[in-house]
Amino acid sequence: MTAATLHRAIVRTGDRVRVELRPTPQPVAGEVLVAPQVAGVCGTDLQMLRGLRGDPAPVIGHEGSALVVAAGPGVGPALAPGTRVTVNPTHPEDPSFLLGHHLDGLLQERALIPATAVRAGLVTPLPAPLVPGDLAALLEPLATVRYAFSVLERTPLHTLLVFGDGTVGHLAVRAAARLRGADVRTVHVHHTRAGRAWSEDRDHRADVLLCAADGPDAVRAAVGEGPVAVLLATPRDATLRCLETALRAVPGDLTVDLLGGLPSDAASPLLPGVGLAAVRAANCGGRPAVPRIEDAVTDSGARVRLFGHRGVADHHLRDAAAELTAAPERYRDLVTHAADLDEAARIMRHLAVHRDRTWQGRRLVKLAVRVAADDT
């Protein structure tokens, strides 16, 4: 095997993370081979590194941009070699395709995208002008926020209450004024006081900053009167707790986006008879075209609207690209760290065993991995 048939990748094996050489596949009918340029590391990636998820792919990474370097027979001219694209990681109909989870992702110099994903339109050409540099690591998470806001257009909104101080939570706060208008108040509940302290130093922070430890009374005082929408940008082990905080804090007009992960048997005594995982899974990959929202009643008799979503549609990705291109300075500081493959592997090894999300003394919100090989 010659060097030309190999490429570098960040590979996780057991509790090890290191850069290795991997065989470079060649696309057959309907497939495309891409060269990732910039890839992001997200919260679910960290859960996989820490052994909290059983996803089998040794090469993770599902956020970012890439160049098409080869296309198999039958692939249309829109995906000709040299086209800059982003790859939608979630297939609305084929659960076997989940990029960076079930099959190898973008943290490698070459990634093969199977025909099932190409046929479904999951390889999306990026419009000109292109997303600036490392901001491509924010494409997929911002598309998720765009999806959430498109659903919330169907509901009245006075206050947006965001739980979670990872990338999606910060993006929701940053995007709210541009996508929902300056009259929407934002309340941001952080996981830790260190996360809140980071936000306090930002130009584009929420109107009110809280910590999870502040509890429902502080949330109730912060949201005030009027319709409230809750976006749960939370890890799997925190979503249910934050949902119950919101339900206790907001007795009035409430809409909840179950964006964060949930166990398959997730249930709350505050929402008797509601299968929360089923609500979250009802919208997948941008389908159905009119997202499903479930009307529910809490144990105290209050009415609440619930929805969730896995993945996005290609138009959400294009909208995210347009937003990042139009207002890059609003989002740029969320990419707190950028690294090549070797340094990224070191950072990932550190994050796998340390829960404070810091690297070299700075809080890590989004790591952008500059994957591109020298010949791309």
Sketch out the chain's domains with CATH numbers.
3-125+336-370 (3.90.180.10), 140-307 (3.40.50.720)
Q: pLDDT, tens digit, for every residue of 280-305? A: 999 999 999 999 999 999 999 999 99
Task: With a cut of 90, say whether residue 338 has pLDDT above it.
Answer: yes
- b/e map 313-342, b = 16+ CB within 10 Å: bbebbbbbbebbbeeeebbebbbbbbbebe
Task: With a cut of 70, say whether residue 84 has pLDDT above it.
Answer: yes
Mean pLDDT of 237-262: 94
* Higher local confidence (pLDDT), 376 or 180: 180
In the chain, DSSP assigns E strands to 6-13, 16-23, 32-41, 63-71, 84-87, 111-113, 123-125, 159-163, 185-190, 208-211, 228-232, 254-257, 294-297, 303-307, 337-340, 358-359, 362-363, 367-370
Q: pLDDT, tens digit, for every residue of 97-113? A: 999 999 999 999 999 99
Sign of CA pseudo-dihedral 186, 192, 193, 199: negative
Q: Which of 117-121, 125-129, 311-315, 336-340 has the lowest mean pLDDT?
A: 125-129
Q: How far apart are alpha carbons 43 and 49 in whole angstroms? A: 10
Task: With a cut of 80, say whether residue 375 has pLDDT above it.
Answer: no
Burial class of 143 by CB neighbour count within 10 A (0 to 12, 13 to 18, 19+) = buried
- If you search the block for the tokens 């690294």, which residue do you land on? 339
Q: What is the pLDDT of residue 373?
A: 56
Q: How confident is the model at residue 177 (pLDDT cuts 50, 70, 90)?
A: confident
Q: What is the pLDDT of residue 356?
A: 84
Q: How confident is the model at residue 4 (pLDDT cuts 50, 70, 90)?
A: low
State the amino acid at position 368 in one-letter form. Answer: A
Task: With a cut of 80, say whether residue 3 has pLDDT above it.
Answer: no
Q: Are strands 303-307 and 367-370 parallel, antiparallel or unpaired?
A: unpaired
Task: Classify 11 in phi/psi space as left (phi over 0), alpha (psi -120 to 50) or beta.
Answer: beta
CA-nearest of 209, 207, 165 to 363 is 165
Task: With a cut of 70, say whether residue 376 has pLDDT above it.
Answer: no
Q: What is the pLDDT of residue 361?
A: 93
Q: pLDDT, tens digit, for every residue of 148-174? A: 999 998 888 999 999 999 999 999 999
What percent of the chain is modeled with pLDDT above 90?
Answer: 87
Q: pLDDT, tens digit, for every residue of 266-284? A: 999 999 999 999 999 999 9
Q: What is the pLDDT of residue 232?
A: 98
CA-nearest of 100, 96, 117, 97 to 108 is 100
Question: Which residues lie across from 84 on neighbouring strands?
Answer: 67
Q: What is the pLDDT of residue 20?
A: 98
Task: With a cut of 70, say whether residue 317 has pLDDT above it.
Answer: yes
CA-nearest of 111, 64, 27, 83 to 321 is 64
User: Which DSSP category does 100 fall into?
Assistant: T
Mean pLDDT of 2-16: 85
Burial class of 302 by CB neighbour count within 10 A (0 to 12, 13 to 18, 19+) = middle
Among 240-244, 260-264, 371-375, top mean pLDDT goes to 240-244
